Structure 1
Amino acid sequence: MRPVPADPDAYRAWLAEGNATQARKRVAADVLIRDPAGRILLVNPTYKPGWDLPGGMAEANEPPHEAAMRELREELGLDIALRGLLVVDWVPPHGPWDDQMALIFDGGQIDGAHASALQPRDEELSAIEFIEAGDAMPMVRERLARRIDAALNALNIGRVLYLHNGQPYL
């Protein structure tokens, strides 16, 4: 028999047991940042092949937007206000990884002085560069290229896009 809220201790223990057995998702929180020319910021991680958007993985119980802002501060010394969510992409299990939710937030446009002064601030990045969107696509993994394309589309249409493994779903 399932405990009821009238028995708070038993009910809380039952909820905790459910929480302990339910799946947990990894969450990637990236940011689309543009310079005054409309080019997008890419970073070159030292720990994996190919270029990427700035951002990273959320830590346990960390809100995705805070994870994105933390990563920007740690890796680039950049403190900006996010302007909203652009993309939610469910990524199925691949290689050694379980599934994940990959989010792209709108980091807006930074002015030319800030853009030219940006440089990697820790050992996780070897380089950064503002790149025309079309030129950026061959530099990143195929799934990320589709996600970036969707983020640029989301900016144009003014709504969040939901993807399934980099492909439009809804």
Structure 2
Amino acid sequence: MPPREQTPPDEWLAGRPRFLAAAGALFTDAEGRVLVVKPHYRDHWLFVGGQLDEGETPEQACRREVKEEIGLDAALGGLLVVDWTQPTRDRPLPLVVFIFDGGTVDPARIRLDRDELDEFRFVSVAASLGLLSANGRRRMPVALDAKRTGTTRYLSAGAE
């Protein structure tokens, strides 16, 4: 049997699926309220975090984004949620989001990046659900439950 021809790596990679990835952190204050941030460029509030840069792991991206957005060089706790979301009209690629436990933080330690964010708030879980995007509203209770139980949770297009 003759040997099979192998596809060159660049051709093989060009045919592979593409997706976006982001990482964020769930922070709470001493009263158990959750931290949400309001970027200039969105109508809704978000977890602290953002897109992974080329070559970054989700943990590295999360730590970088936390430092950039709220000025904390925080050690992250465990992975709480992995959420796979399908492409949309506005985002033609699938998105996988990693949410880590950011722990408890004193609001006085936060130094907001005014170039990217307008505001931050520590709010009740119920109040956060009125501020977050639809995806954020799906992730928040799951992330809090994962933090409570110590079990990483997986979401796929909104379903567990």
TM-score by length of 2: 0.91
Partner of 1:74: 68
The 2-side partners of 1:75 and 1:81 are apart by 15
* Aligned-pair CA distance for 1:150: 0.5
Percent of aligned positions that are identical = 34
Partner of 1:54: 48
The 2-side partners of 1:145 and 1:116 are apart by 26
> Do the aligned residues in 1 keep the contact of 2:45 with 2:131 (CA within 8 Å)?
yes
Partner of 2:81: 87
Alignment length (residue pairs): 156
Return 5+ residue gaps in structure 1 as ranges.
4-12
Partner of 1:2: 5
Partner of 1:133: 125
TM-score by length of 1: 0.86
Q: Hey, which bits of structure 1, 4+ residues long, moved more than 2 A?
A: 13-17
The 2-side partners of 1:134 and 1:29 are apart by 23
SS in 1 for 2:26: strand
> Do the aligned residues in 2 keep the contact of 1:90 with 1:99 (CA within 8 Å)?
yes
Q: Which has the larger radius of gyration?
A: 1
* Aligned-pair CA distance for 1:165: 2.0
SS in 2 for 1:51: coil
Partner of 1:144: 136
SS in 2 for 1:44: strand
> Do the aligned residues in 1 keep the contact of 2:72 with 2:109 (CA within 8 Å)?
no
SS in 2 for 1:74: helix
The 2-side partners of 1:81 and 1:2 are apart by 47
Return 5+ residue gaps in structure 2 as ranges.
none
Partner of 1:156: 148
Partner of 1:6: none
* One-letter amino acid of the counterpart of residue 46, structure 1: H
> Do the aligned residues in 2 keep the contact of 1:42 with 1:131 (CA within 8 Å)?
yes
Partner of 1:103: 98
